[in-house]
Amino acid sequence: MKNVKAVILAAGKGTRMRSELPKVLHTVDGKTMIQHVVERVHALGIGEIIVVVGYKREMVIDHLRQVVPELRLRYTIQEKQLGTGHAVMMARPYLQGFQGRVLVLYGDMPLINPRTIRRLIETCQGEVKAVLLTIVLDNPPDFGRIVRDESGRVLRVVEVQDATPEERAIREVNVGMYCFDNQALLGALERLRNDNAQGEYYLTDVIEEIVQNGGRVETVVAETLEETLGINDPDHLRFAEVLKHIEYAESLYELIDATLAMTRARGTR
């Protein structure tokens, strides 16, 4: 893992959280979301962790310096929120000349399993220039759809707002965690455009750029639905807390109580 760098996206405000606190500083199981993510990435022995900050960046940086003072994290600033691809562009000063792999993930995924992260990184080698974490659902949410050719090879990821009805019917969706060959990533970032419904630079468009330039893209399917949860609003936060109680349940009755609490949390709107 020494030849791997990680980029954690943590620049957003998180408007749907209805709070002035940066989204990644909300807590789950006694730790902030960003602390969970940083610690899980560091535990794998990844050589360098780059955190992309933006909204109230001093608060996020100060927090991390307090809770993980032993880590020498790198920081880069996304002044304007112009999309996930743009956020990764801000990390380019730390990636230039690097001949290795780059893990990209969000700072609001506190339940991600380190084993899943390792599978993603280990799959990204040789001819494979990019790997996405996906999940297959009967009724998927508004996540990007994984478009494949007749042989099953990944062609691109299409965001729901840009998808055709046929593409919206695809059951395999993008979770939002990636591993890239760094040189393939940097080349694709140079070619990114923002001619889409949102007018943003999508990180998902990097996949098609890599494929069109001869790179092979693979997927890793998440082991559980829970670990793919990105926290976007207070209901998600409560749900994540209840999931931790289920994980720690030591008896049947504790499990029943936690499951009932989770059901109530899911029904809160």
pLDDT of amino acid 92: 98
Kindly report, residue by residue over 131-190, the tens digit of the pLDDT: 999 999 888 888 999 999 999 999 999 999 899 999 999 999 999 999 999 999 999 999
Domain extents in the chain: 4-119+127-232, 233-269
Confidence of residue 227 (pLDDT cuts 50, 70, 90): confident
CA distances from 67 to 77, 209, 244, 247 (A): 20, 38, 21, 24
**pLDDT over 90 (residue 47):** no
Model-level pTM?
0.88
What pLDDT shows up at residue 1? 79
Q: Is the pLDDT of residue 52 over 90?
A: yes
Residue 261 has pLDDT above 90, yes or no: no
For 3-38, write each residue's pLDDT tens digit. Answer: 999 999 999 987 777 789 999 999 988 999 999 999
Q: Residues 102-121: pLDDT tens digits?
A: 999 999 999 899 999 999 99
User: Which residues are annotated as catalytic?
Assistant: 16
Task: Specify whether domain 4-119+127-232 bears CATH 3.40.50.880.
Answer: no
- The predicted pLDDT at position 242 comes to 63
Please state, rounded to an integer, the average pLDDT across all residues of the chain.
89
